[in-house]
Structure 1
Amino acid sequence: MSLLTVENIRAGYGDVDILNGVQMRVDRGEIVVIIGPNGAGKSTVMKTIFGLVKVREGRIVFEDKEITNLRPDQVVRAGLCYVPQEKNVFPTLTVEENLEMGAFIRNDDFSKELQKVYELFPAMYEKRRQPAGALSGGQRQMVAMGRALMLDPRLILLDEPTAGLAPAIVDLMFDNIQKINGLGVSILMVEQNAKQALAMSHRGYVLATGRNRFEDTGRNLLANREVAEMFLGG
């Protein structure tokens, strides 16, 4: 049974529709990747799921509960977290304070989750007393993902997690994403490094002009000549 289902959603900004009947799903334990050209609506899908963009038509279901147009804080409480591409840390707070902010809706002891994050990202433990704004781009991304994990979510939305990172850090980030998935967390990810993302994904979606263009396993999308020529650089 699907963990997340996006059913024929139409959404956008102002009077302009960016998404025109997009459909997708994430099953439990999956890594699902969304790729496509600039302006295809990839990030808008993420924001719409998280309640930052209003759905005009269609619906979004998470764990058999409709979450269409819920506020972001309500979506978080349902067990779904979102890591945006930019402005994803509190720069003046320390690394540890950023992580603690991730547990803002919890009233119980979250020390186990904090320990889990430090085990996953050892460099974050070493820098836990430093302001997050003083970290490199890759380190800030780790803090943002770690903060999402503090809520023990069932699904994390990652919007361009490797954008602007050096190639060696990109590889590390993909390793970290697989480790998070190995903890039992499902992942829906928008990613510009499409070939690497599809290679590690269970399934993928290709969007174009706010519509579904292709859907298949990551391996099959990589092997699809039309997808390669149009969206993967040949």
Structure 2
Amino acid sequence: MSLLQASGLYAGYGGVDILRGTNLRVEADEIVVIVGPNGAGKSTAMKAVFGLVPIREGRVEYMGEDITNRPPERMVTRGIAYVPQESNVFPSLTVLENLELGAYALSGDHRPRMEKIFEIFPRLKERRHQQAGVMSGGERQMVAMGRALMVDPHLLMLDEPTAGLSPRLIDETFERIKGINQLGIGVLMVEQNARQALAAADRGYVLATGENRYEDTGPALLANPEVAEMFLGG
């Protein structure tokens, strides 16, 4: 049984389908990356899975359960966390307050989760009383991922986690994502830095006009000359 299985998704905005039969699969121990040109439907696919865009046709299963068109708050309580590309922190709140809000839907003592996140992101512990809005882009991305991890998810969904970051911070972000995956958390990621993302991925999907064009291991997609020429800049 796959951690996540999305089959034949048709979804979009205002009655216009952006996704046209899209399929996605994530196993429990995998990092899976979605790449493709602008307008390919990558972010729409993530939002459809998470219940932010209505699915007109198709099915999403999570751990064998049909979650098609479930509201996002239900996804969170089932162990799916989503980090959007933009507006992913509360800038006027401290790091600590941002993390605490990540666990709003859960009961019990959140301190063990908080300590685990501080182990993954030591810089957040150092700056836990600092407002998120005055932090660097890379630090804000750590806050966003940390808050998502407060729900102790089985699946972490990341939309363009390295957007706007320097090359050094991009490398650091990918290393953090690998570390999170090694904790037993499946990762589904949309990423503009396609070469680095595929190098880090167990499997990848190439989308174009809302349709699956290629699916293979990350290294195999990187080595595919057609993928390189059409989608990776040669």
- Please, what is the CA RMSD of the aligned residues? 0.5
- Cα offset, 1:91, TM superposition: 0.6
- After the TM superposition, list the runs of 4 or more consecutive aligned residues in structure 1 that deviate by more than 4 angstroms: none
- For 1:112 and 1:174, locate their aligned partners in 2 and report how far apart those are by CA, in whole Å: 24
Query: 2:176 matched to 1:176?
Result: yes
Gaps of 5+ in 1: none
Cα displacement string for residues 65-110 of structure 1 (whole angstroms, at most 9, x for unaligned residues): 1110111001111110100000000111100000000111111111
Contact kept in structure 1, 2:77 and 2:106, CA below 8 Å: no
What code does the residue aligned with 1:101 have? L
- For 1:99 and 1:66, locate their aligned partners in 2 and report how far apart those are by CA, in whole Å: 29
- Cα offset, 1:197, TM superposition: 0.6
1:54 corresponds to which residue? 54
Aligned residues: 234
Cα displacement string for residues 103-161 of structure 1 (whole angstroms, at most 9, x for unaligned residues): 11111111111001111111111110011111111100000000111111000100000
Query: 2:130 matched to 1:111?
Result: no
1:66 corresponds to which residue? 66
- Cα offset, 1:196, TM superposition: 0.6
What code does the residue aligned with 1:214 have? Y
1:33 corresponds to which residue? 33
- For 2:55 and 2:217, locate their aligned partners in 1 and report how far apart those are by CA, in whole Å: 27
- For 2:95 and 2:226, locate their aligned partners in 1 and report how far apart those are by CA, in whole Å: 44
Q: Classify the secondary structure of the residue corresponding to 1:2.
A: coil
- For 1:36 and 1:180, locate their aligned partners in 2 and report how far apart those are by CA, in whole Å: 24
Cα displacement string for residues 180-232 of structure 1 (whole angstroms, at most 9, x for unaligned residues): 00111100000011111101100000000000000000010000000000111
- For 2:87 and 2:214, locate their aligned partners in 1 and report how far apart those are by CA, in whole Å: 31
Contact kept in structure 1, 2:13 and 2:53, CA below 8 Å: yes
Question: For residues 96-135 of structure 1, what are the structure 2 equivalents within 5 Å?
Answer: 96-135=96-135
What code does the residue aligned with 2:129 have? R
Query: 2:195 matched to 1:192?
Result: no
- For 1:126 and 1:79, locate their aligned partners in 2 and report how far apart those are by CA, in whole Å: 27
Contact kept in structure 1, 2:124 and 2:143, CA below 8 Å: yes
Query: 2:162 matched to 1:162?
Result: yes
Q: Percent sequence identity over matched residues?
A: 62
